[in-house]
Amino acid sequence: MTTTDPLLAVAGLTVRFRLPDAVVHAVTDLHLDIRPGELVAVVGESGCGKSVLAHALLGLLPRNATVTGRALLRTDSAGSRTDSARLRGGDGAAQSAPVDLLACPPRQLARQVRGRVVGLVPQSPATSLTPVRTGRRLLEETLRAHGHTRADAPAAADRLAVDVGLDPADLDRYPHELSGGMAQRLATALALAPDPPLLLADEPTTGLDRPLVDHTLDLLRRRCDAGAAVLLITHDLAAAQRVADTVAVMYASRIVEHAPTEALFEAPGHPYSAALLDALPQRAFRPVPGHPPMLTDLPAGCAFAARCDRATPTCRVQPAFTGTRSGQVACHHPLERAELCAEVPA
């Protein structure tokens, strides 16, 4: 097995939430590979299913969720040898086989996956921090649970605080005494403490000013450069452009384009990707027309067709992914490079 093999291979991930009078199509037929040393950004408008993706991988969805598909995690790169053996349910002597996170029992996910081999920076840290423990106690307990001694945990906690841009003195506060940005940085430190090979960062820059946003993004980039893998879920296109190796654009529960970052920002293939980029202040600063469809009432074909000036009757059929010179796009009428160049003002 080479370093080019995915650390995590997601195939056909589909999530449905059953309500009394409707079904929410939160994620549909999602395919995504993440390799060691790679930072993959998933971008899109709010409510498209980005956060549901992260929570599905860790078994953190409510009881009314139905999850199908596969999410195969390579155990030969997933943490220590002991962790890998536990994930496989054996002594580790045999050739390791990938573990399907979507098929893992809740007990196994809680004890052997979350934190140990897959870390999560939550979107709402204030609701995930234990309110009766100080940040220092939370961080030191996490460090001790993952190999640090009682003697060296305080110094390690201080170093982690500095790494995430938090004053070590602020660790002695309780969560309710922290600002939203400080709570976000503490949550990031807690996710990094076990040094997991895969990190799911769900809007990790929420509540941060621009210098701290860049600080956090650069921290994630350094983790990838050291061999870890990061799935960055963000609505901040500038953040994705700054640090991501590849970008997956999500719309109405589906990934509609996946391409190397530079190629996507230079020449997006899907009309929705182009519209998102046009909304940036440094570009046309033009909002995406219309509104996303309700996830309880998605059309049979392309969900973006109602907002797209390239739509034809063909778009009533769901488009399949096709390869382009730069990546993959699910569109019956993808943009050509010549069209994009013609749209760029001189």
Q: What is the pLDDT of residues 11-59, one digit of tens each?
A: 999 999 999 999 999 999 999 999 999 999 999 999 999 999 999 999 9
Quickly state the pLDDT bin for 250 (edges 50, 70, 90). Answer: very high
DSSP letter, residue 124: -
Q: Are strands 198-202 and 118-121 parallel, antiparallel or unpaired?
A: parallel
* Dist. CA 334–CA 238, nearest whole Å: 23
d(CA 201, CA 189): 12
Q: How many whole angstroms separate alpha carbon 280 and alpha carbon 294? A: 24
Q: How many CA atoms lie within 13 A of 226 on its CB side?
A: 11
**Residue 143: per-residue pLDDT:** 97
Residues 141-196 have pLDDT tens digits of: 999 999 999 999 999 999 999 999 999 999 999 999 999 999 999 999 999 999 99
Query: Which of these, 221, 53, 193, 52, lies nearest to 119 by C-alpha position?
Result: 193
| Burial per residue of 31-67, b for 16 or more beta-carbon CB atoms within 10 angstroms, e otherwise | bbbbbbbbbbbbbbbeebbbbbbbbbbbbbbeeebeb
Query: Do 178 and 190 touch, CB atoms closer than 8 A?
Result: no
- Kindly state the average pLDDT of the residues 230-254: 97
- Domain identity same for 182 and 261: no
pLDDT band at 83 (very low <50, low <70, confident <90, very high): low
Q: What's the rounded Cα separation, in Å, for the pair 75 and 7?
A: 8
Average pLDDT over residues 249-258: 98
Whether 43 maps to a domain, the answer reads: no
Mean pLDDT for 255-263 is 97
pLDDT band per the 50, 70, 90 thresholds, residue 337: low
Is residue 126 included in any domain, yes or no? no
Q: Looking at the predicted structure, is the pLDDT value of residue 294 above 80? A: yes
SS3 label, residue 14: strand
* Residue 181 belongs to domain spanning: 131-195
What is the per-residue pLDDT for 127?
83
Same domain, 259 and 338: yes
Which of 195, 211, 231 is the C-terminal boundary of a domain?
195
Specify whether 266 is located in the same domain as 183. no
Instruction: Give the CA count within 13 Å in the CB-facing half-sphere of 306.
Output: 12
Tell me whether residue 204 is in a domain: no
For residue 305, tell me if it sits in a domain.
yes
Provide the token pair at 129. 């921090």
Res 118 pLDDT > 50: yes
Cα 20 to chain centroid, rounded: 29
Within-domain flag for 275: yes
How many domains is the chain partitioned into structurally?
2
The model's confidence at residue 4, banded by pLDDT at 50, 70 and 90, is: confident
Higher-scoring residue by pLDDT: 254, 337: 254
Please give the mean pLDDT across all residues of the chain.
91
Evaluate whether residue 112 is within a structural domain. no
pLDDT tens-digit profile of 306-323?
999 999 999 999 999 988
Give me the pLDDT at residue 97, please.
84
- Give 94's strand partners: none
Please indicate whether residue 96 or residue 203 has the higher confidence score (pLDDT): 203
Q: Which of 243, 306, 308, 301 is nearest to 273 (CA)?
A: 308
The answer to whether residue 231 sits within a structural domain is no
Q: How wide is the angle at C-alpha 317 spanned by C-alphas 312 and 322, nearest 5°? A: 90
What is the structure's pLDDT at 128? Answer: 86
Compute φ and ψ for 32, nearest 5 degrees.
-160, 130
pTM of the model: 0.91
**pLDDT score for 87:** 61
Residue 236: band (very low, low, confident or very high) from pLDDT cuts 50, 70, 90 = very high
CB 130 within 8 A of CB 138: yes
pLDDT at 91 over 60: no
Same domain? For 329 and 257 the reply is yes
Of the ranges 20-24, 73-77, 319-323, 336-340, which one carries the lowest mean pLDDT score? 336-340
In a domain, 179, yes or no: yes
pLDDT at 94: 44
Instruction: Note whether 332 and 254 are same-domain residues.
Output: yes
| CB contact burial 87-98 (16+ within 10 A = b; e otherwise) | bbeeebeeebeb
Q: How confident is the model at residue 77 (pLDDT cuts 50, 70, 90)?
A: low
Choosing from 150, 169, 195, the residue where a domain stops is: 195
Asked whether the predicted pLDDT for residue 82 surpasses 80, the reply is: no
* pLDDT at 2 > cutoff 50: no
Among residues 148, 180, 195, the one where a domain terminates is 195
The count of residues in the chain is 346
Name the band, by pLDDT with cuts 50, 70 and 90, for residue 78: low
Residue 327 DSSP code: S
